Structure 1
């Protein structure tokens, strides 16, 4: 838990110590399974879709860039990484016509193919648009990877692979920090492994 401090110096040290504690609690097996799913997507030419809201939308976009374009030379076949958070015209049309709760679902109904994967990023794990997308992909027989925080919410139990950052409710900053570290960790793993 983040602790209050009168000194910015003490707060900085405590914040970084907290991030270190959170990172040590991560399920490394879940991270390894996520990596294997990305490798399988590369080999089969499957798409990997990324979705989230707010700060998690930015992480979704960043991950799609890092694992798609950034890792291109690390794979014989690049990962077809697609962020569902980047097209303003599409997002506003879907939100207007189908409701914000279907923001990602309606895009997936157009883009998803058998064998594709969905990575959903949500600190609370309770955002309706993320849950609707995850449930639909599961109904199609697809793989859902979830990056969650707090208590994991409803999303944690839906996912095939759950990488959970257990924090107090409302600690968005530390959760999103760890999610970004996961992105850079996996990106760097692929680059180093390939000698790129």
Structure 2
């Protein structure tokens, strides 16, 4: 007899066995380039992906450079509920990320969209804006990748038709990225 948990974890292991290593390294290079050049990194998502975005900002801003003089400038666009609701009420929920992005975005900044389906309109609008204005775009997506997979300059695709496994894979991307960045920064510090 197989337990449900065993079946789930076997499925998740299959997703992780197909991890997009090359895209991940491109994403890390873009994030480290933003750090080195004082650029901002914006991240956003809806629902569980919003939690992932917020968690990522905590891990990078605090975890990666707590004891370093130079800091990351990572901003989660879904962390201000009042700002999001103002845009949703006065314009559209489709605009809750692109409008605040316009306040802070500068060419060369990195914009990361997280969407399990890859088809969240509000995420896609922000990615499109960044693409049109000289940004570096990263898309974390699942299922078939949706529109985000083709729109982002660096798609990090977890190829699984299950929202929870997609979200699991995205959190693993967050945690691996934190450790990968910390390793890069410690090597950089050792070289100085």
Counterpart position of 2:172: 181
1:172 aligns with 2:163: yes
Residues 27-76 of structure 1 deviation map (CA, whole Å, 9 limit, x = unaligned):
20100001001110110010000010000000011111111121114766
- Checking the alignment, whether the CA contact within 8 Å between 1:42 and 1:75 is kept in structure 2 is no
Query: Aligned with 2:79: secondary structure?
Result: coil
- Checking the alignment, whether the CA contact within 8 Å between 2:20 and 2:158 is kept in structure 1 is no
- Checking the alignment, whether the CA contact within 8 Å between 2:32 and 2:181 is kept in structure 1 is no
Counterpart position of 2:50: 57
1:113-152 alignment, distance < 5 Å = 113-152=106-145
1:38-57 alignment, distance < 5 Å = 38-57=31-50
**RMSD between aligned residues:** 1.7
Residues 84-129 of structure 1 deviation map (CA, whole Å, 9 limit, x = unaligned):
0111111111111121001100011111112111010001111110
Output the CA distance in 1 between the equivalents of 2:20 and 2:91: 36
Counterpart position of 1:23: 16
Counterpart position of 2:63: 70
Counterpart position of 1:3: none
Output the CA distance in 2 between the equivalents of 1:119 and 1:192: 21
User: Given the two structures, how large is their TM-score scaled by the length of structure 2?
Assistant: 0.92
Residues 127-168 of structure 1 deviation map (CA, whole Å, 9 limit, x = unaligned):
110111111110002111000000111111001101101112
Residues 7-40 of structure 1 deviation map (CA, whole Å, 9 limit, x = unaligned):
7x61111211211110111220100001001110
Query: Aligned with 1:124: secondary structure?
Result: coil
* Structure 2 CA distance for partners of 1:162 and 1:76, relative to 1, 3 Å: farther
Alignment gaps of 5+ in structure 2:
none
- Checking the alignment, whether the CA contact within 8 Å between 2:144 and 2:159 is kept in structure 1 is yes
1:111 aligns with 2:104: yes
User: Given the two structures, how large is their TM-score scaled by the length of structure 1?
Assistant: 0.90
Aligned residues: 187
Output the CA distance in 2 between the equivalents of 1:76 and 1:185: 23
User: Residue 160 of structure 1 is aligned with which of 150, 153, 157?
Assistant: 153
